[in-house]
Structure 1
Amino acid sequence: MPNKLTSDLINYIENVLATAQIGLTFSKDQFDIERFNTLKSLSAELLSRLENEKVVKTSKWIALDENYTTPKIDVRAVIFDEQKRILLVQEKSDGNWTLPGGWCDIGESASESVAREVEEETGLEVKAIRLLALFDKLKHDHPPQLPHAYKCFFLCNVNGGTVITETNETSGCAYFSLENLPPLSRHRVTASQLVKVAKHVYSEQETCLFD
């Protein structure tokens, strides 16, 4: 299936799911509730075909969010060494590389989440010192994927810890020059984003990139 068509279909499904979830949040009419639940079931079936997943698994994932639908927040740590190389981790799920990070957890601030993710994936203790960018995933060259997410890129300082090379989710951890990047996990980060945030750091501008 052409990538543009896949992207359009996923965008359509996400909007249908958002409409159904908002309807379930506010509707009191039993017939409307049944219709909204039907929309969610049909969306789960179509999405499972697009992403080659079981319908049951997709339905469970969709059912987890029972509130008003909003984008999810993904946090990523930007860490440089003295040679201006950037720290990346290798994902076990696809064998490609990305910035340390992941979804924010309930009860944590974004900066706390990124520090926790870095320690879990690299063994390093870091402190987020600056929000570099708040990017809308749909406006960048990621492959089409649900859910809709905003990506927060934090510049972090290393305060301690010892580098580990393998965790439950990652199988590598290393610094790379921007001119010699490994294959990237493009669902998580793109080469253009790495170049953009790196240039922003070394330009010494205090503004935050967005969109």
Structure 2
Amino acid sequence: MQKEQFDITGMTCSACSTRVEKSVAKLPGIKEVSVNLLKNSMVTSYDESVLDTAGIVQAVEKAGYGAIPKASAQNKSRTTTPAAKPEVSTAQAEYKQMKQRLLLSALFTIPLFYISMGHMMGWPLPSSLLGMENAISFAFTQFLLLIPVVFINFKYYRMGFKTLFHGSPNMDSLIAIGSSAAIVYGIYAIYKIGIGFG
């Protein structure tokens, strides 16, 4: 029996880790599989005469996620220069990327919140965004601030719809469907406002 550890990418909730675990457990030759969501890792025990690393990676990718054998990740770190930084775990890398996306999103979300909710709280807004005669510019300004937020967080849409089409929706699917519905309705509302004032 061969025991091997993998770094798993793309997991965001327990539904993800369960999906990966079930997909790998179905493979012939697998004796044991355990997925750790917090560490973004998976440990497998398998019969190497029946199954190989490539087969396991393929099963994980078919489920909508990514898998990197720990051995190949360690070999990469050994072949780097002596001055190279110590290896960063997949979970740490994912956390760092998420933090960057949050900060970049905030740059556009804070002005979006101010414009969309400011008039309800008595905050000053430019006159070009106030009144029924400026309804189109009010709505379209919000839409323009939304586009970068969607672009920065497109990972949620890519993974969410991918796992949905694989029949195993997760939290990314919830975000993707909910926000897509709001965006489509927002575009329709802008169109209706335009028709009304046309």
Taking structure 2 as the reference length, what is the TM-score of the superposition? 0.22
Which structure has more helix as a fraction of its residues?
2
Taking structure 1 as the reference length, what is the TM-score of the superposition? 0.21
Which structure has more strand as a fraction of its residues?
1
